[in-house]
Each structure stands twice: as C-alpha cells, then as structure tokens.
C-alpha cells in the first residue's frame, strides 16, 4: 500500500498511525533547521554531519554510517551503510540531488528490509527541500510525504 500522506480519499478509511511519528517529526524539524541555515549546494556528507549535530543538540541518539549486512540464501553478499540511525529506530538517508528519483526510494526500502527497521526517512537537501517517510510493514512499503 502506498499513501501520499495528504489524507484519505473521499470515502476511504483513515490511514493507521505512522510508527515513530513523534520521532520522525522531530527529525524532519531538525532537517529543516539545517536546510534553512546551510541552504543548497554542499555535498551529502556535510548535510549528514550537520543533521547529526542538530539531532544530538535535541538529545537524540545518533549513529552515522551504520553498517548493515545483506544476505542471500543465508550467505553474506554485501554491506551498506545507513547515513544515520536515530534512537536505534529510524534510518535516515541524506541526499543532495536536484530531485529525488525512484531509485532513491528503492534504496531506502531495501535498506529498511536489510536492517529490519520499519521506518526510514529520505531527506533531500536539493534546490527544494524534499522529505519522504517510508514504512515497511509485512512486506508492504508505505510512503508518506
């Protein structure tokens, strides 16, 4: 199921509560703090580090470049590093691109599956700030902007 986060369509039942909603709102607020102060044009690493600083100022636990193993049929086949893991619960992928593309969404979904974490944020420090919340639930990916 994919939702846009804007609200239910006419006659549709409301979407269930988004897991970690208060935490993701805090992370998104910190993203806008950094975006408004630094603007557009830096490399992703600069934004990742600045966002980690801001989240720590908000007294959240932040780990950077957290490794997760990928396996196939029980055999380790690779490793990826999440940009940020906040409070051990939410994976944050930081981008600095013109516009988020489907490949960025797919990347985050795969990271969530590999890590076993249910919620992730895709944050783009592009010319226009972009935020996407993703949730993995029973093999179903849900997008909430």
Q: What is the pLDDT of residues 55-80, one digit of tens each?
A: 999 999 999 999 988 888 999 998 88
> Would residue 8 count as lying in a domain?
no
Domain count of the fold of the chain: 1
The whole-angstrom separation of Cα 108 and Cα 132 is: 10
pLDDT at 89: 96
Q: What is the pLDDT of residues 92-110, one digit of tens each?
A: 999 999 999 999 999 999 8
In angstroms, the first-to-last Cα distance of the chain is 14
> Would residue 117 count as lying in a domain?
yes
> Would residue 10 count as lying in a domain?
no
Q: What is the pLDDT of residues 21-30, one digit of tens each?
A: 999 999 999 9
> Would residue 79 count as lying in a domain?
yes
Residue 56 maps to which CATH number? 3.90.1570
Instruction: Look at 84 and 18; give whichever has higher pLDDT.
Output: 84
> Would residue 104 count as lying in a domain?
yes
> Would residue 5 count as lying in a domain?
no
> Would residue 7 count as lying in a domain?
no
> Would residue 11 count as lying in a domain?
no
Facing residues of 137 across strands?
A: 140
Q: Name every residue whose Cβ is closer than 8 Å to that of residue 20 and which is 6 or more positions away in sequence.
A: 89, 90, 118, 119
Structural domain for 75, as ranges? 21-144
């Amino acid at each position: 199921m994919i939702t846009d986060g804007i609200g239910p369509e006419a006659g549709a039942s409301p979407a269930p509560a988004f897991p970690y909603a208060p935490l993701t709102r805090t992370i998104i607020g910190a993203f806008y703090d950094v975006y408004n102060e630094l603007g557009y044009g830096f490399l992703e690493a600069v934004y990742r580090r600045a966002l980690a600083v801001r989240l720590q100022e908000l007294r959240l636990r932040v780990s950077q470049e957290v490794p997760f193993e990928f396996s196939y049929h029980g055999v380790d086949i690779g490793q990826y590093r999440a940009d940020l893991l906040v409070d051990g619960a939410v994976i944050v992928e930081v981008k600095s691109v013109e516009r988020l593309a489907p490949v960025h969404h797919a990347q985050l979904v795969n990271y969530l599956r590999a890590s076993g974490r249910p919620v992730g944020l895709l944050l783009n420090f592009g010319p226009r700030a972009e935020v996407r919340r993703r949730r993995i639930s029973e093999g179903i990916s849900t997008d909430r902007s």
